[in-house]
Amino acid sequence: MARYITSIEAFEEAKKHIPGGVNSPVRSFKNVGGNPLFIASAKAAKVYDIDGNEYIDFVGSWGPMILGHSHPDVILAIQKAAAKGTSYGAPTLLETEMAMQIKKMVPSIDSVRMVNSGTEATMSALRLARGYTGRELVVKFEGCYHGHNDSFLIKAGSGALTHGTPDSPGVTRGTAESTLTAKYNDLDSVKQLFDRYGEQIAAVIIEPVAGNMGVVVPEKDFLQGIRNLCTKYGSILIFDEVMTGFRVARGGAQERWGVIPDLTTLGKIIGGGLPVGAYGGKQEIMDKLAPKGPVYQAGTLSGNPLAMAAGLTTLKILEQNAGFYDMLETKAARLENGLKKCLADLDFPGVINRVGSMFTLFFTDEKQVRSFDDVMRCDTNQFAHFFKYSLDNGIYLAPSQFEAGFVSGAHTDRDIDKTIDAGYNALERLKK
């Protein structure tokens, strides 16, 4: 393969061989203009592109890098595991240890099944819920993204929202008809669906903190209200904590809000940067899975030893560092408050939503962003300019208004302050 000097040249070549030149749509920079960066390496809170540029990274591989890039303990664990073999397609002690670690940190999980991605976790949890209840209908929420399985590409967020195709071609009418859509932070919309379809609803799946339409925070009693409805009608409550798991608290959003789901899907952080997913929950539900029960799900690389080694090392560091989440909260609050001051000083309209180390700056005239409708009124053109100006100043944000940013344990106060200064400069340019 030829050696490319610039990201632009690399992207042009990639487009000849890969649809759109990327292997996940939002990476294309299509909605912010320009060309994507081709990353050469990453360390701590920085990424380095093949053009020789350094950036402070708030993408963090879309969430997994809570410790920062190339954490030495995680790299060492991967190297040790790889030296013994990269895949066996057979049980290992690491898988059991990982399951025990997840159960310890997320008490609602009695039993857990490892898979290879967040999408695989959510689609498997959905099948399990249908198999357990004998029902077909599923409730999801506008703007919440649960991977690219057909059932979830109805009013979806993340890349589907970014690219203007929330109802994706290729999803069959039958699949769409079995997916009911409610409004995030609108409990009445959920009640209306249960009033009409309650005995037919197998499950409600939700991002307890929405992250795939940008960060949208659940309002008081919203999650508990959904929990109550699921209990009343015998439906399975699934928390999609692929993004929030071990991110917004050691035990995820369910720990932070004190609402206990029946099933939880996990990913990102539990792989320490390697491909991974998991789903788990109440024993009686999980016992329906093959080989113990009739609901079939399988995967050649499930429980891959490299991913287990990286993820287990990451989770143990998070568990054993008593002050880690307080430290992360302090860093993220410093960034939030600094950007809010920039908006205020420049009298620039915008809203910053943050939960723990997840954040989004929305470009909007609204006073708050609490729903999918609020998100859709944001100015994506302003965001595109802000993204470009930030990138010019060495700050790497997610290339979409509809994504979360992530603060890691590797970000320093100097990184945060430089980001705030860059944000002020970007907003000042927008103001002109």
Residues 307-354 pLDDT 10s: 999 999 999 999 999 999 999 999 999 999 999 999 999 999 999 999
Start-to-end C-alpha separation, the chain: 44
CB contact at 8 A, 215 and 354: yes
Q: Is the separation of the CB atoms in 127 and 286 below 8 Å?
A: no
Q: Is the pLDDT of residue 75 over 50?
A: yes
154 pLDDT more than 70: no
Tokens 């959904």 belong to which residue?
A: 226
Do 112 and 123 reside in the same domain of the chain? yes
Scanning 3-63, the segments in alpha helix (DSSP H) are 7-14
Residue 358 exposure: Cα atoms within 13 Å on the Cβ side: 28
> Is residue 193 a contact partner of residue 180, using CB atoms and an 8 Å limit?
yes
pLDDT value of residue 174:
67
Q: Is residue 223 domain-resident?
A: yes
Residue 151's pLDDT band, with cuts at 50, 70 and 90, is low
User: Does an H or E element contain 264, and which?
Assistant: strand 263-267
In a domain, 236, yes or no: yes
- pLDDT 10s digits, 169-188: 666 666 667 889 999 999 99
Q: What is the pLDDT of residues 352-383, one digit of tens each?
A: 999 999 999 999 999 999 999 999 999 999 99
Give catalytic residues, as residue numbers. Answer: 145, 240, 268
Task: Examine the domain organization and report whether 414 and 272 are in the same domain.
Answer: no
Last residue of a domain, one of 263, 297, 320: 320
Domain count, the chain: 2
Domain interval for residue 420: 7-70+322-431
Domain of 82: which CATH number?
Answer: 3.40.640.10
Shared domain for 125 and 269, answered yes or no, is yes
The verdict on residue 2 lying in a domain is: no
Give residue 34's pLDDT band: very low, low, confident or very high (50, 70, 90). Answer: confident
The rounded mean pLDDT for the chain is 93
Do 33 and 94 lie in a common domain? no
